[in-house]
Amino acid sequence: MRFLVPFLVATPIWADTCPEGPDTGDALAALIAEGQAAQTYMVARDALRDMWSLWQAPPDKWSGELLDVGLERMRVADYEGAQKAFDALVEYCPTWAEAWNQRAFVYFRQEDYAASLENIERALEIAPRHIPALSGKGVTLLKLGREDEGYDALRAAVDLHPWLPERGLIPELYGAPR
């Protein structure tokens, strides 16, 4: 019995879904405006970094732990481990856009672009101004050979944050090949 107790303590007992996260709409709008008005890359980069902080703010401790595990597994290219963590995160927290966005990225890294796109679409249903999800959608659509849709998604992301590196993929901005 003494070996079972640590396992029970370490295993969270949770409801069907995680709690709603804080309302970050006003903070995100301010950071988007800051990025759009930025006159230098450094200012824009800082605004995007702060946006990431909003998107990755976990609704509760357990979702934060699952996110951390998934990100750590990604850092060491353990895509199977990352996939398991993000699968659990999406199951536990289906209303958190970042859960879907991170799982989309794992699929993308594994070149499963169709699955990546499905997860990106879900993230964008929840958070339409999730700039990395929008740019990820664009790049994923390009990988799928759906160029017009891909460029449209990239334009939408760049409209929200003009300093995105992915802007270089848009033909009319930098003459990228079509």
Domains annotated on the chain, with CATH: 39-168 (1.25.40.10)
User: Cα-atom radius of gyration of the chain, to the nearest Å?
Assistant: 18
Q: Which residues contact 142 (CB under 8 A, 6 or more apart)?
A: 150, 151, 169
pTM of the model: 0.85
Q: What is the mean pLDDT of residues 134-151?
A: 97
Give how far Cα 24 sits from Cα of 34, 53, 117, 130, 178, Å.
Answer: 15, 10, 25, 12, 37
pLDDT digits (tens, 9 = 90+) for 52-110: 999 999 999 999 999 999 999 999 999 999 999 999 999 999 999 999 999 999 999 99
Closest by alpha carbon to 63, among 109, 99, 22?
99
Q: How many distinct helices (H) and strands (E) make up the chain? A: 10, 0
Average pLDDT of the chain is 88
Q: What is the pLDDT of residue 158?
A: 95
